[in-house]
Structure 1
């Protein structure tokens, strides 16, 4: 069987659902592939089951081998894909041709479309001999009328149409009373993640999803403003990206919530981030299903959600595993959050119930529901039929139903013919396969050389990485990836420094058990910087980087830097963009951890805790302007007790030099606490679980002056997580230009 996605290489909910379901069907013994209309990056952002084939049809990257200039969505747009459906602007006539060719040549018994435009393709080009199944990942009423009309017309030509909520299935049946297509609800598959569930101890509410208007994150932010009035020790993290990001950030700044509400950006995988929280929040005005609800439940979080159409009320049992509140009511949403915040026992009981509820959506259960649908369609349509002697059900782990046997035999009967078709596939599709083929050819020579010099091909160190409650780093390596005694090697980036840690014997010696190492980094003198993890096998010296796509840092949330042996240290493990395990380390003789930053009309207030040194009444904060001839401002620091101090940074001290300058004449000021005796201590944020705060812990700009003399100043965190200020010219916007652009902007919004 095959799934048709527009772009497998993103991280949206439809992609996650397809990856989860395809993997479960592959685990059950089915032959599965995912066809991606376009290819936008080298590899999928989400891990795909190793037995699921990936078939990209059109290379969308103009600088990559295999790109065909005929893929020109503007100059040569699709003639089939509905112009009203979102991906149309990335769809070309070449995509039309490739999908038509694929559907003509495929030997798949079941073909599943995953969005309206693809369902149109499936209805037009799908082979009559196969089961054609469309999926609805939104709802009937969420689509614009023209999208709805295009998909409704396509549904009549499909064998089945699957919605993710029962209510939406009823709406489709009522809207299409004359079609014979089987319309059925099957929820999305959401796997149980291989991460430890939430401890429930972190004072953190988590929300995740695309930042679009229907998610109504503004309501959540407004509700949380009410929460912090009573519980200022709690925080909200919002994960995701989308067109509403700027407006939401502005709302956070407007309400003065910069220190309580954090926009985290997009994260994949998201599962370790859920486990950092104690409560999940869903504030949508509409949810077709609610994958984030089930993901949060898997992580052991009770969910506070609006009882919006359609998904939340079908997933959450109000008062048992979560709370449902009236949509659009910020006051009621805040009250529900406060009720769980105030009652640890109730929150823990709901968390346990939520984990149990989430198992209903396990991929194996959803795969079984799909197989049942396929069996029913075989009986109804007579498609995918094999001779009576071939109708043998699979057994054991592959026994998901009679369809598996029928489909498998049908594939076998057509295998020879399909092979011939694939070998004779038109040259039109060659550009897509040329890139991967060349990649394979390029890898042949290095692999042969590796075998010749004794470097084992089987050294593939992949580690599950987690931070223990005491701050220790725990790495678990499957034995299959190491094949013998080895050492963990930490290498400091852009340096020759290296630390070797012997890996202990497997946990279950002689049984193929994992290797596990526990690093108490408080006792390891790692210099400040980024350290990369490698494994070196002792037998032949083979050296490979450690890969780890799942890094658990829940124990670091709110954790202060470690102070011991005359040093202040902090360490945060993370996975690089390439999936390699790395470690961000800070080590300083003393450090001032910023606990509060607030921007007022004329001053910025900074409060910090001094670590590794004693505060003194004579201490001052210096602001040093970077450049060939630095300027130093000295500002008094006020002791607050318990090692804390505060400082006021007058904006006029920083904006006077840039007022009236060219727009790019920015000045950057580094902050230090200077103690008696001259010791300069950095002020920043190195504690907690966030590796890079520059684009996450953001604060608004303050403005001074008028007209051409107008300037702005804003605190920010550097790449090293040190606190600094930036001052820049900020002339008033051209009012006439703004009015002239208004009609064009309105057109863009409407289009």
Structure 2
């Protein structure tokens, strides 16, 4: 049969997009499947899409596209057929009405599925005659405003089935909005088997993922983690996602002094390589219709701490067996649950194993079967279309075509090796990166041994086949499916303290291409915790590639860049664990400010006559830390000649005092840098 999904956009990141793709790709093995994306706002989807699934974009809103239709006359005219109380109503128009209607007027789909309220209304209006009409509820009955529920009643009544993602929500719809001619049932979202090995739960990282929006209550999570960090300062929280709450969360993290422990990682796709870096997953949502992230984390072998919100979590997590449920909004309960798992590695391991086993019920196979049984029960035609299994095998084989661009997975091992595996092996192929070549074996795997002598820098990975070799060989960039970086998190532990040079190699995706980031330093100072308080920055650093001289001869050097170089020196305090601690009064670089923007590099001199080592953070899995591990700035009065005279003049004129902001941050090479920048004067109104 032919199955058509109608979605707002397939080109972004979100739970509805993920679950639509999971279901569509499973169904594509037996049916003809299309995804009709009302909008196309970027060139390529952020999620990989199975080539057996046809994607049909209707309206181009890409800013740089010559076919951008944002200013189309009809797109500037309000929609008439899209529900006015729908949250995205303002994004729809007479043009969306027309394009959806025109597409389905020519469609021979046997089943049409709308994936949000407004699109359910479109399905009820425009789907081809004789098709089975299905609406999906990816939120909950209680989430929608009464005005929208009232507006949707007419369209829901025209459906053959209305599918929620939890039994609790299905019951709520049946109770509060009876639909005598529409079958209301629950079918959960599906989550496929991860493409990376599961977590062993032995790390010190807690992972959360989802939109940075108010309903996710990340503020509760951050406040709870303040209690966790106070008790277990070596544990960190990583929050993956984007949204309108980012700046608010950043401010809370800084206010609580959690910038060493809580990191906003931005959107991550695929998410599985991030889950498996964790030992525990956490969710503090106010409400969840289902909880895709919970199932994703469980499939990756993580025990989950989640709020017991309506409706999904309690239908996914078996409290005390594969996770812990806590009251909504109770930060103390969240902290207690996290500490329970942090302090009991055996419990984490047992719950992680149970989570992985229990989450298999959400595999796309069983979920797709429920949908197929629903289609059949509703009378969907089954003989009008060619199924995928009966197509010409050269058309779109499951493993990909030989002439498709090469795609690979990459894994960073704890010993420093990197393994690259082609999804479609190619005989005689070689991996080429940074001037080195590594042969692929018959299974499509190539291993870069630990300690391979890459120069420091960024090295794209390319594929070279026997046919491409010659005086001027042709090489093809390697695209990525999944890059498992968790082995890189152990770089500091495996690095011999005095071995030189210090090497670290991390695979990552850059511009869609598998890339290697290599660091090579004769001597290196790995920065640890950084604290900004009392108008000073205090940091710890651990030396690699050399030993610090005994006594107090080690020092931190601040070196100013530019045409007026200057060096400031700050003594080290040796710590019991072998690290060194330094304190820099922020007035020191501020008081010698030369330009409106001074930049200072940080170096560690470990012995009086030794070449200093760059202070950086390179021995982990995060390649570009600048935006992911920021530190708050400190405002100081600007030191100027004739300060007393200037102060008197300001009092007379009412002009505010001039200030500078002093801040530490990581450069593009992950070196620690300090800058002193003039703060703009805030002008008051007359």
- Measured after TM superposition, the shift of residue 696 of structure 1 is 0.8
Is 112-121 or 627-636 further displaced after alignment? 627-636
Rounded Cα–Cα distance in structure 1 between residues aligned with 2:72 and 2:299 = 41
Residue in 2 aligned with 1:425?
none
1:122 CA drift (Å): 1.5
1:592 pairs with 507, 512, 525, which one? 525
- Unaligned 5+ residue runs, structure 1? 379-383, 385-405, 414-455, 492-497, 507-513, 738-751
Of residues 432, 439, 448 in structure 2, which corresponds to 1:519? 448
Name the counterpart of 2:597. 666
Q: Residue 266 of structure 2 corresponds to which residue in structure 1?
A: 265
Structure 1 position 185, deviation (Å): 0.7
**CA distance in structure 2 between the partners assigned to 1:173 and 1:459 by the alignment:** 48
State whether structure 2 residue 590 is matched by structure 1 residue 655: yes
CA distance in 2, matches of 1:646, 1:226: 25
Partner Cα separation in structure 2 for residue 641 and residue 331 of structure 1:
33
| Residue correspondence of structure 1 range 374-523 to structure 2 within 5 A | 374-378=375-379, 384=380, 406-407=381-382, 409-411=383-385, 458=403, 460-478=405-423, 480-482=424-426, 484-491=427-434, 498-503=435-440, 505-506=441-442, 514-522=443-451
The Cα shift of 1:192 comes to 1.1
Deviation at 1:180, TM superposition (A): 1.7
Cα distance, 1:62 vs. partner? 4.3
- In the TM superposition, residue 460 of structure 1 has moved relative to its aligned partner by 4.3
Checking the alignment, whether the CA contact within 8 Å between 1:134 and 1:161 is kept in structure 2 is yes
**Partner of 2:508 in structure 1?**
574
Greater displacement, 604-613 / 701-710: 701-710
Give a deviation string over 1:296-319, Cα, whole Å, max 9, x none. 000000111111111101111111
With over 3 angstroms needed to count, the CA separation of the structure-2 counterparts of 1:301 and 1:320, relative to structure 1, is same
| 1:24-423 alignment, distance < 5 Å | 24-27=26-29, 29-68=30-69, 71=72, 75-378=76-379, 384=380, 406-407=381-382, 409-411=383-385
* Pair 1:622 & 2:622 matched: no
User: SS state of the match for residue 598, structure 1?
Assistant: strand
Write out aligned runs for 1:695-714 (5 A): 695-705=627-637, 707-714=656-663
Deviation track 1:92-141 (CA, whole Å, cap 9, x = no partner) reads: 32222111101111110100000111112122222331111111101111
Which secondary structure state, in structure 2, belongs to the residue aligned with residue 557 of structure 1? Answer: helix
Per the alignment, residue 644 of structure 2 pairs with: none
Cα distance in 2 between the residues matched to 1:90 and 1:530: 40
Please list the CA deviations of residues 500-554 of structure 1 after superposition, one character each: whole Å capped at 9, or x if unmatched. 2233x41xxxxxxx132222231x1111001111121234424212222201112
Deviations 1:164-192 (A, max 9, x none): 11111111112222542111111111111
- Partners of 2:524 and 2:414 in 1: CA distance: 23
Cα distance per residue 1:73-108 (max 9 Å; x no partner):
873343332344333333332222111101111110
* 270-279 vs 698-707, which moves further: 698-707
Q: CA shift at 1:733, angstroms?
A: 5.0
> 1:189 & 1:74 partners in 2: Cα distance?
35
SS of residue paired to 2:461: strand
Secondary structure in structure 2 of the residue aligned to 1:140: coil
Worse-superposed segment, 220-229 or 7-16:
220-229
Please report how far the alpha carbon of residue 277 of structure 1 lies from its aligned counterpart in structure 2 after TM superposition: 0.6
8 A Cα contact 1:615 1:643, kept in partner: no
Whether the 8 Å contact between 1:116 and 1:150 is mirrored in structure 2 is no
CA RMSD of aligned residues (A): 2.3
Q: What are the ranges of 5 or more consecutive residues in structure 2 without an aligned counterpart?
A: 388-400, 639-655
Measured against aligned partners, the alpha-carbon deviations of 1:411-452 in whole angstroms (never above 9, x if no partner) come to: 479xxxxxxxxxxxxxxxxxxxxxxxxxxxxxxxxxxxxxxx
Is 1:536 aligned to 2:452, yes or no? no
Q: Secondary structure at the match of 1:312?
A: helix
Partners in 2 of 1:733 and 1:309 — Cα distance? 46
- Separation of aligned partners in 1, 2:60 and 2:362: 34
Q: Using the TM superposition, name which of 327-336 and 283-292 deviates more.
A: 327-336
- Give, in whole Å, the separation in 1 of the partners of 2:537 and 2:681: 22
Give TM-score, length-normalised by structure 1: 0.82
Shift of 1:227: 1.4
* Deviates most, 640-649 or 177-186: 640-649
Helix, strand or coil for the counterpart of 1:708?
coil
Equivalent in the alignment of 1:639 = 574
C-alpha displacement at 1:625, in angstroms?
2.5
The answer to whether structure 1 residue 613 and structure 2 residue 546 are counterparts is: yes
Contact (CA 8 Å) 2:26, 2:364: kept in 1 or not? yes
Cα distance between partner residues in 2 of 1:643 and 1:178: 70
* Alpha-carbon distance in 1 for matches of 2:63, 2:576: 60
Query: What's the counterpart of residue 446 of structure 1?
Result: none
Alpha-carbon offset, residue 736 of structure 1: 6.3
C-alpha distance in structure 2 between counterparts of 1:565 and 1:593, whole Å: 14
Question: Distance in 1 between the 2:681 and 2:307 partners?
Answer: 40
| Secondary structure of residue in 2 paired with 1:360 | helix
Cα separation, 2, equivalents of 1:518 and 1:69: 48
Q: Does 1:12 align with 2:14?
A: yes
| Structure 2 Cα separation of the partners of residues 412 and 583 of structure 1 | 43
Range moving further from structure 2, 88-97 or 596-605: 88-97
Task: Decide which moves more: 69-78 or 313-322.
Answer: 69-78
Answer with 691-700 or 724-733: which moved more: 724-733
Greater share of helix: 1
Q: How does 1:542-557 map to 2 (within 5 A)?
A: 542-557=474-489
Query: Whole-Å Cα distance in 2 between the matches of residues 150 and 717 of structure 1?
Result: 52
The alpha carbon displacement at 1:701 in A equals 1.4
Q: What TM-score does the superposition give when structure 2 sets the normalisation length?
A: 0.90
Report the counterpart of residue 401 of structure 1 in structure 2: none
The 10-residue stretch of structure 1 (65-74 or 302-311) with the greater mean CA deviation from structure 2: 65-74
Secondary structure of the equivalent of 1:549?
strand
CA spacing shift, 1:72–1:225, aligned 2, 3 Å: farther
SS at match of 1:107: coil
Matched residues in 2 for 1:62 and 1:704: separation?
A: 41
Once residues 180 and 683 of structure 2 are traced to their aligned partners in structure 1, the CA distance between those partners, rounded to angstroms, is 57
- Residue 681 of structure 1 deviates from its aligned partner by 1.1
> Residue 72 of structure 1: CA displacement?
6.1
- Could you tell me whether the CA contact under 8 Å between 1:120 and 1:150 is conserved in 2? no
Q: Give how far 1:615 is off.
A: 1.3
Cα distance change on mapping 1:59 and 1:562 into 2, 3 Å: same
CA gap of 1:590–1:330, structure 2 versus 1, over 3 A, is same
Q: Shift in Å at residue 255 of structure 1? A: 1.3
The offset of 1:481, in angstroms, is 4.1
